[in-house]
Amino acid sequence: MPDAPAHRGAHPILSVSGLNKRFTVGEQTVEALRDVNLTISKGEFVCLIGASGCGKSTLLRLIAGFETATEGQVQMYGAPITGPGPERGMVFQDFALFPWLTVKENIGFGPRQRDLPKDKLEEISRHYTDMVGLTKFADYYPSQISGGMKQRVAIARVLANDCEVLLMDEPFGALDALTREKLQQELLEIWERTKVTVVFVTHSVEEAVVLADRIVVMTAGPGRIESDSRVPLARPREVSAIDFNQVRRDVTERLTSHVAVKSAAAA
């Protein structure tokens, strides 16, 4: 498995350099991220994986612009990110849909902020509602649809806003196994069709190997990048294939190696 991240197309869209992030909770300072460096190319599908507390969600939130760096920078096309923006769309684990808007209105929320003519807005909302297969549920409220459907709405909502980077924070973590698999496939189809760049946080090795071009393994205490490697598998990927298992074992080893080292030191 090649260790250095070679880029598809190699046009960097996001770059994280010398990033440190500390939180102050009461009197205590928690070091969430230490010296994180990462470059992501346009159109890449990158998975951030690691145990809880490794800072993977914090890194994602810094890219989204919901948090600010203590030191270092996050840049998009070379310009520093200073806050949230429509070009970077976040998909949350708990969906964060607007409960008072219907499926179609949720999807049209971003475009509505841009003073588009009414028929244009309608066209965009319908297009993305259809794209995620929710045509029949367009007028339902979030409380009336399943978790899988809610997450489809959340994905369509950021795509409808012409986002270039899809930031996903354990988006399928709250879904059952069958729905999760189905949504993974749908996400890959959408990714291939729209050429959107995806940064996907997960703690499931299998999910990362199914989805990613490139897997960034992070470790905790403080959060930093342990390893960064490409997934040498063609698509579509078969979970039961031998080479798939090989990659999965490899990622699992890198994910747990530092734990083994630590427990050896403790003993």
Using the rule CB under 8 A, is 158 a contact of other proteins? yes
| Site stretch for other proteins (CB under 8 A), options 20-28, 145-153, 155-163, 225-233 | 155-163
Using the rule CB under 8 A, is 100 a contact of other proteins? yes
Using the rule CB under 8 A, is 5 a contact of other proteins? no
Compute the distance between CA of residue 42 and CA of residue 193 in angstroms, rounded to an integer. 14
| Site stretch for other proteins (CB under 8 A), options 6-14, 84-92, 220-228, 243-251 | 84-92
CB of residue 86 vs other proteins: minimum separation in angstroms? Answer: 4
Contact 202, 170 (CB under 8 A): yes
β-pair type (165-169, 197-202): parallel
Contact 176, 133 (CB under 8 A): no
| Site stretch for other proteins (CB under 8 A), options 33-41, 87-95, 228-236, 256-264 | 87-95
Q: Which of 101, 116, 138, 233 binds other proteins (CB under 8 A)?
A: 101
CB of residue 200 vs other proteins: minimum separation in angstroms? Answer: 16
Residues that bind other proteins (CB under 8 A): 64-66, 83-86, 88-90, 92, 94, 96-102, 109-110, 113-114, 141-143, 157-158, 161
